Structure formats: C-alpha cells, structure tokens
Amino acid sequence: MRHPNPELLSAHIDGALSTTEAAALAQHLGVCAECRRQCAELRAVSASVQAQAPSTPSFVSPGLFWARLAARLQTPRREAWPGISLLPATVFALLGAALDVLLGAASLVWLLERWGLMRPLAPRLLAQLVQRDAPTVLAGLAPAWLASGSKQLCARVLQAWGAVRPEVQDAVLYVGLATLLCVALGGLLMLFGLWLSTRLDQERNERSMTRWNTARS
Amino acid sequence: MAAANRPEAELIASARSGDMGAFAQLVGLHRMRVLRTAAGIVGSVHEAEDVAQLVFMRVWDHLDDYDSAGSFTSWLYRITVNLSIDTLRRRRYEAELDEELQAGARSDPEALALHADERRRVQRAVAQLPDKTRAALILREYEQLSYKEIAEALKIPIGTVMSRLNYARRSLDRLLREEQDEQREASEP
C-alpha cells in the first residue's frame, strides 16, 4: 500500500487540506491502520501543546501592563513629523503656493506688458517702484561686497549689470524680488501650518490620554 | 464606552498620528495574543511580558512602516516572533557564559522533580525545537492561526508552514517518547 506524504497527515488534523486532498486521504485512512495511528499520535501531540497555552491570569493585569508600557513609550512618536495630522500644514502650504502662483502670474503679465507683447492690464505701480528702488538696493549691497574683500568681483558684477538693457534690469530685479517674496511667504505659511499641526496634535494626545485614564479608572 | 468599539483601522490611524489613547486600545485588543505567542516561544511567562513590552514599543515606533493593505495582526505576530527569537538567542548566549562560570555545578534534585511534571515535560520538548519551527507551532496551537495566516505572519510559503508543523509534531512525539522511556528505565530497579 502506498502511504501519503507525512506532511499531509499533519495538515489533515488541522483541516488544512483542499477538498480533493482531504477526500483522497479520508479514503486511504479508511483502509490504512498505520496512517490512522499516526494521525492519532499527531492529534495527541497537538492537544498536549495546546494544553500548555498560558491563560490570561498567568500574566500581569492589562492595567499594569499598559502602565509599564506607557512609561517606556517615546512620546511624541519617533516618526512624529510624518505622523502628525498635516491638515493645517497642508492648508497653509496650499495658501502659500496659491500666493506664489498669483505673484508668478503677475510677474509674467508685467514682463509681457513691458516687452510690448501684451496690452497693459494693470497700473505699473509695482514696476515703477522696482525701477526706482533697484539702484538704492544695489547701492546698499555694493559696500557689503567691497567690505568682504570681493572688490574686483563686485566691480565686475556692477559693470556687467550696467551694460544690461534697462528693461532687462527691471525684469531681473522684479522677478528676483518676486521670487524672494514668494519663497519667504510660502515658507512662513508652511512653518506656521506645521507649528499649528504639532500643537493640535499635542492637545489631541492630551485629551485622548485623559479620556483613556478616565475610562480605565 | 463608545471609544472602546472603534474599528481597528481607525485606532491604527489615530495611533499613527500620535494618539496614545488609541494605541492603548490597540494594545488592549492584541495584548494576549502577543503574550501567549511570546510565552510559547521563549518558554517563560515572565520573559514573555518583557518581549510583549518590546513588541508594542516597536509597534509604536514603527507604525508608519505598517502597510495597511496587509493584516495588522500578521504584522504584529511577525514582530513578536522575531523579538522572541532574538530574546532566546540572547538568553542562550548568556546561559553559555553562565555555564562557563559555574562549570558543571548543577543537578538540583528539586528542579529534577519539577521536570517530571507533565507540563514541564512538554514545555521542555517544545523548547528543543528549532526556533522557527517552534514559532510556527505556537502560532498554530496557541493562536489557532490558519496555514495562510502563519505563512503571512512568518513571511514563508504555505508549503513551508506545512513541513515545519509536521516536523515539529513528529519531533515532539519522538522527544516525549524518549523522555518517557528514560523515566521508565530510571524508575526500574
């Protein structure tokens, strides 16, 4: 008589065989006393191990277990940054991005107007402001460059700058200032959002812990 | 208490965002399975509690690594099995050091009497199984997991689960018989 793979007998007592395998094995067990004996032994071993499973009273109480665990947990969580609710941060980041887009669009419009590719849509107040204030800004920066010992470099930059057409100077200054403003504004809003997220998260944790302690007591 | 009935997925999401109350409830839900599994593998209730503490600390720290597409329980069992096996390895290393220090001064008659107890006999036989085999056996016998669940928890194919369980049971059967024979021989005049 050909006996089945021993692993099948073990799987059989766990009810882990497919319908076809189980049917074939059942047929074999009907005629094979040796395999029936092996199954009985496997069941006995399985039962004796199951009887060793520790019961609930063997362990410390849930309250004590949690108290010990809570004292060892690192709070805020190690991955607290990605873990915190980022909704406020996201809202403020989106707000910053929207403002950036607006400023970018305004820059584009201004440039198109400036180069005659578009009919004037808005007063050129900002453009005039940049034109008027740019030399003052440069004049303020130049001494700093000179003081840092980059005299030649600064002179070269100023010389190169002077050779640039006024409308390009305007465009560079305007776009540069707009970019700085965008970055600063977006960054500040993002930081504020993150701060708000962390703060809200801490408050929620405290509320949650209070609820848990109340429920437990 | 309405909060106690929150679904597991919601508790995990809240715990991920740092909500300790939600994590406490998760611990409450899974504490016993972690303790039982660890106790089965390390063979000591006291050590199982240390392992369970480490398991939940790791879960708390690595909640972001848990892929919510998979089963949380399987992930938890995997961590429990790994940390239990680590504990055993450390213990064996420490025992080796201890043995070197004590140099054969053993065989306490009282301890031997305790080993005669049926419970201790099976525990001792289980402790002799290879770690990974024992882990599969404990997940099956203590936790009543299906072969598929064991495969998922241990990240092994179902065929391997089947062969490990078969090996574990047959080895236990042999070990228990051998011990019985030894006891019989010892008790004979």
Q: List chain A pLDDT tens, one digit each, 217 residues.
A: 688 888 999 999 999 999 999 999 999 999 999 999 999 999 999 998 998 888 777 788 888 898 888 888 876 665 444 445 667 777 777 877 787 777 777 777 777 776 776 665 545 555 555 566 556 656 666 565 555 555 666 667 777 777 777 777 777 777 777 777 777 877 888 788 878 877 777 776 676 666 555 555 5
> Cα–Cα distances in Å, from B90 out to A119, A129, B85, B87, B96?
79, 73, 9, 5, 10
Output the CA torsion sign for A69, A73, A79, A82: positive
- Shortest distance between the Cα of A88 and any Cα of chain B, in A, equals 14
State residue B109's pLDDT score: 47
Contacts of A60 in chain B (CB under 8 A): 49
Tokens at B67, concatenated: 């892929």
Q: Are B142 and A72 inside 8 Å of each other by CB? A: no
Of B22, B62, B165, the CB nearest to A208: B22
Q: Are A14 and B27 inside 8 Å of each other by CB? A: no
Closest by Cα among B16, B66, B11 to A85: B16
**DSSP H helical ranges for A115-165:** 125-147, 151-163
Chain B contact present for A71, CB below 8 A: no
- DSSP, residue by residue, B51-118: HHHHHHHHHHHTGGG--TTS-HHHHHHHHHHHHHHHHHHHHHHHHHHHHHHHTT----HHHHHHHTSH
Output the CA torsion sign for B123, B125, B128, B133: negative
What is the spatial distance between Cα B53 and Cα A66, in angstroms, rounded to a whole number?
9
What is the spatial distance between Cα B165 and Cα A6, in angstroms, rounded to a whole number?
11
Closest by Cα among B147, B15, B37, B102 to A21: B147
- Shortest distance between the Cα of A23 and any Cα of chain B, in A, equals 18
pTM for the complete prediction?
Answer: 0.59
Q: Judged by CB atoms within 8 Å, which residues 20-79 of B form the interface with A?
A: 20-25, 27-28, 31-32, 35-36, 39-40, 45, 48-49, 52-53, 56-57, 60-64
Q: Are B141 and A53 inside 8 Å of each other by CB? A: yes
Contacts of B43 in chain A (CB under 8 A): none
Q: How many CB atoms lie within 10 A of CB A117?
A: 8
For residue B173, the chain A residue with the least C-alpha distance is: A45
DSSP A125: H
Tokens at B159, concatenated: 């065929």
User: Counting Cβ atoms within 10 Å, is residue A68 exposed (0-12), middle (13-18) or buried (19+)?
Assistant: middle
Yes or no: say if B41 and B138 are a contact pair by the CB < 8 Å rule: yes
Q: Are B60 and A84 inside 8 Å of each other by CB? A: no
Q: List chain B pLDDT tens, one digit each, 189 residues.
A: 334 457 889 999 988 888 888 999 999 999 999 999 999 999 888 899 999 999 999 999 888 888 888 899 999 999 999 999 999 888 776 665 555 444 433 444 454 444 446 778 888 899 899 999 999 999 999 999 999 999 999 999 999 999 999 999 999 999 999 988 887 887 776
Contacts of B108 (CB under 8 A, 6+ apart): none
